[in-house]
Amino acid sequence: MEKAIIGKELVKILGKEKVLVDELDLMYYSYDSSFLTKLEPSNPFAVAMPTSTEEVQQVVRFAWENNINIVPRGAGTGETGGCIAVNGGIVLDLSTWDEIVEIDARNMQVIVRPGVIHANLNDELAKYNLFFPPDPGSSKMCTIGGMVANNASGLRAVKYWATEPYVLGLEVVMPNGDVIITGGMKSRAIKNVSGINLTKFMVGSEGVLGIITRIRLRCFPKPRARGIAMAVFDCLDDAPATVLDVYQAGVLPSGIEILDSSAITAVNEFKPEINLPAAEAILLFEVDGNPPSVDFEGEIIQQIAKKRARSVEWATEEKRMTELWEGRSVTATAAARVRPDGSRIFAGEDISVPLSRVADTLRAIRALGDKYGIKVVNYGHIGDGNVHTAPVINPENPDEVEKVLKMVDEIHLLAIEMGGTTTGEHGVGAVRRPYAEAEHGKAVEYMRKAKEAFDPKGIMNPGKVF
Amino acid sequence: MNFKDLPPIKEQLMKCVRCGKCRSVCPVFAEVKNETAAPRGHVFIVQMLRDDKVEPDHKVYEKLSACLLCENCTVNCPSGIDIHELNAAARAYIYEKNPSLGKELVFDTLWTSPGLLKTSTMLMGGVQKLGLQKLARNIGLTKILPGDLSKAEKMLDSVPSRSARSQLPEVNKAKGEKKYTVGYFLGCGTDLLNPEVALATVNVLTLNGCEVIIPRESKCCGLPHIANGKLETARRLAAHNIKIFNSYEFDYFITDCASCSSALSRKNMEFLFKGLKIEDTAYAFAEKVMDLTVFLVDVLKIEMDGDNLSEKRRVTYHDPCHLANAQGIKSQPRELLQRIPGIELVEMKNANTCCGGSGTYSVTHYDMSMKILDKKMDNAMETGADMIATCCPSCMMQLRYGTQRHKWNCRVIHPVQLINDFYLHKPAKTAGE
Ligand SMILES: Cc1cc2nc3c(=O)[nH]c(=O)nc-3n(C[C@H](O)[C@H](O)[C@H](O)COP(=O)(O)OP(=O)(O)OC[C@H]3O[C@@H](n4cnc5c(N)ncnc54)[C@H](O)[C@@H]3O)c2cc1C
Ligand code: SF4
Ligand code: SF4
pLDDT reading at A272 higher than 90: no
Give the pLDDT of residue A460.
98
Whether residue A265 contacts residue A335, with contact meaning beta carbons closer than 8 Å, is answered with no
Tell me the nearest-neighbour CA distance from B38 into chain A, angstroms.
9
pLDDT reading at B107 higher than 60: no
Chain B: residue nearest A390 by CA? B17
Pairing of strands B289-291, B210-213: unpaired
Q: Calculate the CA A12 to chain-centre distance.
A: 35
Whether residue B313 contacts residue B342, with contact meaning beta carbons closer than 8 Å, is answered with yes
Question: Of the candidates A42, A135, A115, A134, which has an alpha carbon nearest to the alpha carbon of residue A74?
Answer: A115
- Whether residue B298 is contained in a domain is answered as no
Q: Which residues of B touch A329 (CB under 8 A)?
A: none
Phi, psi of B249 (to 5 degrees): -100, 80
pLDDT tens by residue, A377-419: 999 899 999 999 999 999 999 999 999 999 999 999 999 999 9
Mutate to test the pocket of ligand 3, among B73, B223, B325, B362 (most ligand atoms within 8 A of CB): B73
Q: What is the C-alpha R_g of chain B?
A: 21
- Whether residue B378 is contained in a domain is answered as yes
Q: Which residues of A touch B44 (CB under 8 A)?
A: 27-28, 31, 41
State pTM to two decimals.
0.92
* CB spacing of B21 vs A333 below 8 angstroms: yes
- Boundary of a domain, candidates B52, B75, B97: B97
With vertex at residue A258, the alpha carbon angle to CA A287 and CA A321, rounded to the nearest 5 degrees, is: 45
Q: Calculate the CA A423 to chain-centre distance.
A: 10
A388 to chain B, any CB pair closer than 8 A? The answer is no
pLDDT reading at A109 higher than 60: yes
Q: Which residues of A touch B14 (CB under 8 A)?
A: 343, 394-396
Give the pLDDT of residue B115.
52
* Diameter over CA atoms, chain A: 69
Q: Which range is least confidently modeled, A64-78, A422-436, B40-54, B132-146?
A: B132-146
CA distance B205 to B293: 11
Tell me the nearest-neighbour CA distance from A62 into chain B, angstroms.
23
* CA distances, A12 to each of B59, B272, B350, B376 (Å): 24, 48, 39, 36
Whether residue A383 contacts residue A284, with contact meaning beta carbons closer than 8 Å, is answered with no
With vertex at residue B153, the alpha carbon angle to CA B151 and CA B154, rounded to the nearest 5 degrees, is: 80
Burial class (CB in 10 A: 0-12, 13-18, 19+), A299: middle
* CB spacing of A32 vs B41 below 8 angstroms: no
Which pLDDT band, with edges at 50, 70 and 90, does B156 fall under?
A: low
B409 or B112, higher pLDDT? B409
ipTM above 0.90 for this complex: yes
Which pLDDT band, with edges at 50, 70 and 90, does A169 fall under?
A: very high
Q: Which of A77, A345, A396 sits opposite B20 (nearest CB)?
A: A77
Tell me the nearest-neighbour CA distance from A13 into chain B, angstroms.
19
Q: Which of A32, A141, A346 sits opposite B21 (nearest CB)?
A: A141
CA distance B282 to B187: 18
Whether residue A360 contacts residue A374, with contact meaning beta carbons closer than 8 Å, is answered with no
Q: What is the C-alpha R_g of chain A?
A: 22
**A17 C-beta neighbours (distance < 10 Å), count:** 9
Whether residue B125 contacts residue B165, with contact meaning beta carbons closer than 8 Å, is answered with no
Chain A: residue nearest B56 by CA? A24
CATH at residue B30: 1.10.1060.10
pLDDT tens by residue, A19-33: 999 999 999 999 999
CA distance B363 to B113: 12
* CB spacing of A334 vs B34 below 8 angstroms: no
Pairing of strands A225-233, A281-289: antiparallel
- Boundary of a domain, candidates B97, B118, B140: B97
What percent of chain A clears pLDDT 70, i.e. is strictly above it? 100
Per DSSP, chain B holds a count of helices (H) and strands (E) of 25, 9
- Whether residue B85 is contained in a domain is answered as yes
CA distance A390 to A409: 14
Do A225-327 and A339-438 come out as alike in CATH topology? yes
Q: Transcribe B237-276 into DSSP letters.
A: HHHHHHHHHHTS--SEEEES-HHHHHHTSHHHHHHHHTTS
- Per-residue 3-state assignment (H helix, E strand, C coil) for B25-75: HCHHHHHHCCHHHCHHHHHHHHHHHHCCCCCCCHHHHHHHHCCCCCCHHHH
Q: Which of B14, B36, B78 sits opposite A25 (nearest CB)?
A: B36
Tell me the nearest-neighbour CA distance from B360 into chain A, angstroms.
25
Give the pLDDT of residue B120.
58
C-alpha count within 13 angstroms, C-beta hemisphere, residue A61: 10
Give the pLDDT of residue B323.
97
Question: Is the Cβ atom of A380 under 6 angstroms away from ligand 1?
Answer: no
Phi, psi of B122 (to 5 degrees): -60, -45
Q: Which range is least confidently modeled, A66-70, B106-110, B306-310?
A: B106-110
Q: What residue type is assigned to position A134 of the chain?
A: P
- Residue to mutate among A30, A333, A389, A431, with most B CBs inside 10 A, is A333
Q: Which residues of A touch B16 (CB under 8 A)?
A: 343
Q: How is chain B split among helix, strand and coil, in percent rounded to 5? A: 55, 10, 35
Task: Print the domain residue range for B349.
Answer: 313-428
**B183 C-beta neighbours (distance < 10 Å), count:** 26
Q: Which residues of A touch B50 (CB under 8 A)?
A: none
Closest ligand to B37 CA? 3
Q: Which residues of B touch A337 (CB under 8 A)?
A: 79-80
Alpha helices in A249-314 (DSSP H): 261-270, 291-306
Q: Which of A332, A333, A341 sits opposite B11 (nearest CB)?
A: A341
Q: Which of A141, A342, A346 sits opposite B24 (nearest CB)?
A: A141
* CA distances, A359 to each of A159, A280, B141 (Å): 21, 12, 58
Q: Which residues of A touch B15 (CB under 8 A)?
A: 336, 342-343
CATH number of A339-438: 3.30.70.2740
Task: State the average pLDDT for chain A.
Answer: 95
CA distance B416 to B332: 12
- Whether residue B130 is contained in a domain is answered as no
- Whether residue B62 is contained in a domain is answered as yes
Give me the CATH topology for the region A3-93. Answer: 3.30.43
Give me the CATH topology for the region A225-327. Answer: Alpha-Beta Plaits (3.30.70)
Tell me the nearest-neighbour CA distance from B62 into chain A, angstroms.
11
- Boundary of a domain, candidates B97, B129, B151: B97
CA distance A277 to B84: 33
CA distance B118 to B165: 17
Q: Which of A27, A75, A342 sits opposite B20 (nearest CB)?
A: A75
CATH at residue B349: 3.40.50
pLDDT tens by residue, A47-89: 999 999 999 999 999 999 999 999 999 999 999 999 999 999 9
Helix (H, G, I), strand (E, B) or coil at A288: strand
Torsion, Cα of B144, B150, B151, B157 (10° steps): 120
- Whether residue B279 is contained in a domain is answered as no
- Whether residue B424 is contained in a domain is answered as yes
Give me the CATH topology for the region A100-221. Answer: 3.30.465
- Residue to mutate among A24, A33, A34, A117, with most B CBs inside 10 A, is A24
* CB spacing of A28 vs B36 below 8 angstroms: yes
- Whether residue B160 is contained in a domain is answered as no
Chain B: residue nearest A81 by CA? B18
Which pLDDT band, with edges at 50, 70 and 90, does A196 fall under?
A: very high
pLDDT tens by residue, A281-332: 999 999 999 999 999 999 999 999 999 999 999 999 999 999 888 888 778 8
* CB spacing of B19 vs A396 below 8 angstroms: no
pLDDT reading at B349 higher than 80: yes
Secondary structure element (H or E) that encloses residue A380, with its range: strand A375-381
Q: How many domains does chain B have?
A: 2
Helix (H, G, I), strand (E, B) or coil at A141: coil
Secondary structure element (H or E) that encloses residue A314, with its range: strand A311-315
Give the pLDDT of residue B146.
36
Q: Is A419 left (phi over 0), alpha (psi -120 to 50) or beta?
A: left
Which pLDDT band, with edges at 50, 70 and 90, does B141 fall under?
A: very low
Task: State the average pLDDT for chain B.
Answer: 86
Phi, psi of B62 (to 5 degrees): -60, -45
Q: Is B267 left (phi over 0), alpha (psi -120 to 50) or beta?
A: alpha
Give the pLDDT of residue B310.
65
In sequence order, the 6+-apart residues with CB closer than 8 A to the CB of A168 are A109, A183, A187, A189, A190, A192, A199, A216, A217, A218
CA distance A117 to A160: 19
Give the pLDDT of residue B108.
41
* CA distances, B191 to each of A149, B195, B412 (Å): 56, 5, 16
Question: Is the Cβ atom of B430 under 6 angstroms away from ligand 2?
Answer: no
Domain-wise residue ranges, chain A: 3-93, 100-221, 225-327, 339-438
Closest atom, ligand 3, to C-alpha of B83: 6
Question: Is the Cβ atom of B21 under 6 angstroms away from ligand 2?
Answer: yes
* CB spacing of A343 vs B19 below 8 angstroms: no
| Strand intervals (E) in B312-407 | 313-317, 343-345, 387-389
